[in-house]
Chains A and B, each alone.
Chain A
Amino acid sequence: MAALSQTTTDRQLWQQLKSGSELALGKLLAKYFNLLQNYGFKFVREENFVKDCVQEVFIEIWNRREQISTPESVRAYLLSCVRRRVLRESDRQHIIKEAWPVDLENDSNFVEFSPEWSVIEQESLAETTHRIADVLNRLPKRQREAIYLRFYQNLERDEIAVIMGVNAQSVSNLLQAAFKSFRENWVGLVTWVFFLGYIVF
């Protein structure tokens, strides 16, 4: 229910934005800008570049607000705009992506997770974070991206499918495969195994 009401609100904000409400734009921007930056950062490790890309996505939406129809999921729409823009602009401006060569066709630009320990105050929490990142990095890039979108961006399967340009079944398969190898690589934590067993799509 929570997810439903959130989607309704986003769509309402979008309608207001379409009719020129700067307030609605401000609300959407405040709600999503940081999440969008985080996603962009997964492809290109340059904060200013990513920030510019996200801002330009909003500029384009604002300038074209009368023509753009209200997306089914505003969150998924924004994420896919940012993904496209970051990949296209970095390609065009010859910005080198972390570790992976540019390959728009295969979308294989998703980076490895390397959490910044300094910001995580608690030592045991930092250690767990580190271990989870390690296990996640053993996953293929597309599985990693699906997991990221599912959990960090809190998206539904259908929304992930739109962003990654595959069908919903493929997303399920990616997630299932990810859970499976996660379970194999994650030994020693009963709770975690239980957690993964719990997720059924």
Chain B
Amino acid sequence: MHPDYHKFEVEDFTQDERFRRWVIQRDPESEAFWVGWLAAHPEMAGKVQLARAFLYALEEKNTALSAEELTSITEEVTEQNSARSFWRRSIFQIAASLFLVAGLSYAFWLNRTGSAGIETLSEISPVLVADFEEIENKEGQPKTITLHDGSTVTLYKKSKLRYPKKFMADQRAVYLTGQAFFDITKNPKQPFWVHTDRISTQVFGTSFMVTTQGENAKVEVRSGRVSVYTRKDIGTARRLQQNEAMGVVLTANQQASFVNKEERLVKSVVPQPIVLQKIESHAYEFDEAPISSVFDQLERTYGLPVIYDATTVKNCYITANLTDESLFDKLNLIARISHSNYEIVDGQIIIHSKGCDN
């Protein structure tokens, strides 16, 4: 049994399940039905045609995946423990390199939060002591936590994250021991703070990694912009009732490390900078290109300032294919070709060149 299709208007067709199975889902059985039905009701061809055309105009393009593809996506969804998406986003490489720098023992720094805890925590944000959740990852697999503002935190092994059950209206504050990757939803009215024992990081909406190791700590930025402060400076600013503390501003591919001995933040470039801007396929094949244009391009690709003296390098040209090299390999090659060297100062790339006049 089916409805009185011969009484249907265009709109009725667009809403009919069987009609939609034919037009939208390309279901062969439904198609057979409608072809047969149209043969019996040729006077309805105009309306049916309009209804189909209307749905096709809205659809534009058939990007439908096959049943097999959908099954494999379902499997991926249930099997993933967030490692997969991190592989794809290449951030895992950064994480892996960080695991190598293991230093002080796990027991030591977990104890620290315990003791250094309560007082500092209540100072940071009262809700972190009053009404909080604490998640600890003791296993090897990174664990992804979705906070109620939609931000996600990937907690690496032997790490602990404390967050309030409900964020305060003017800020979102969490406390971390160990290592975690943060992907924060944008909300300028409610900045997100990641506090650790010695440093605090403020963000508005971005992704970045925070690692603490004993009393040392490091923040690496993948996208967006963050500010990092030492806890000491924040404390001082608070005591003096200043609105601003001395902090370090980081953008993508930059990092700040806190070395406890020196009690200060050192700004630098992450070990493996990622490409921030899509590269055209032949963009890094240079043929007698002025070296200044190569530097400008590097700056755009990696979002890191490249500082050079334009006059000194004005006669430097480069012919090379740098498509597959990492940033540092690219820089090394350019340095060799153009008789120059580079250093990383304050998260910037400084080029020292003697020029190419002879």
Main secondary structure of the interface of B (DSSP, over half): helix
Give B7-64 interface residues, CB cut-off 8 Å to A. Answer: 9-11, 14-15, 17, 20, 24-25, 46-47, 49-50, 52-64
Give A64-96 interface residues, CB cut-off 8 Å to B. Answer: 64, 88, 91-94
Whether B70 sits at the interface, judged by CB under 8 Å, is yes
Inter-chain contact B59/A29, CB cutoff 8 Å: no
Q: How many A-B residue pairs have CB under 8 A?
A: 135
Give B213-250 interface residues, CB cut-off 8 Å to A. Answer: 223-224
Given contact pairs A22-B78, A88-B185, A92-B205, A151 touches B9 in the complex (Cβ within 8 A): no
Whether A16 sits at the interface, judged by CB under 8 Å, is no
Whether A43 sits at the interface, judged by CB under 8 Å, is no
Whether A176 sits at the interface, judged by CB under 8 Å, is no
Inter-chain contact A26/B74, CB cutoff 8 Å: yes
Which residues of A have CB within 8 Å of B55? 151-152
Contact of B52 among A37, A60, A125, A147 (CB under 8 A): A125
Inter-chain contact A25/B60, CB cutoff 8 Å: no
How many angstroms from the CA of A28 to the CA of B206 in the assembled complex? 31
With both chains docked as a complex, state the minimum distance between the C-beta of B349 and any C-beta of chain A, in angstroms.
Answer: 21
Inter-chain contact B146/A38, CB cutoff 8 Å: no
Q: Tally A residues with Cβ within 8 Å of B.
A: 57
Inter-chain contact B146/A63, CB cutoff 8 Å: yes
Whether A187 sits at the interface, judged by CB under 8 Å, is no
Give A1-38 interface residues, CB cut-off 8 Å to B. Answer: 2, 6, 22, 25-26, 29-30, 33-35, 37-38
Extra 14 A-B pairs, beta carbons < 8 Å, given A41-B61, A152-B59: A60-B146, A63-B82, A92-B186, A115-B56, A125-B52, A129-B53, A129-B57, A151-B14, A151-B58, A152-B24, A152-B55, A152-B58, A191-B46, A198-B9
Q: Which 4 A-B pairs have the closest CB atoms?
A: A128-B53, A152-B58, A195-B10, A132-B57
- Interface of A toward B, CB cutoff 8 Å: 2, 6, 22, 25-26, 29-30, 33-35, 37-38, 41, 47, 50-52, 55-56, 58-60, 62-64, 88, 91-94, 113-116, 119-120, 124-125, 128-133, 136, 147-148, 151-152, 154, 189, 191-192, 194-195, 198-199
- Interface of B toward A, CB cutoff 8 Å: 9-11, 14-15, 17, 20, 24-25, 46-47, 49-50, 52-65, 67, 70-71, 73-74, 76-78, 80, 82, 85, 88, 144, 146, 185-186, 205-207, 223-224, 276-277
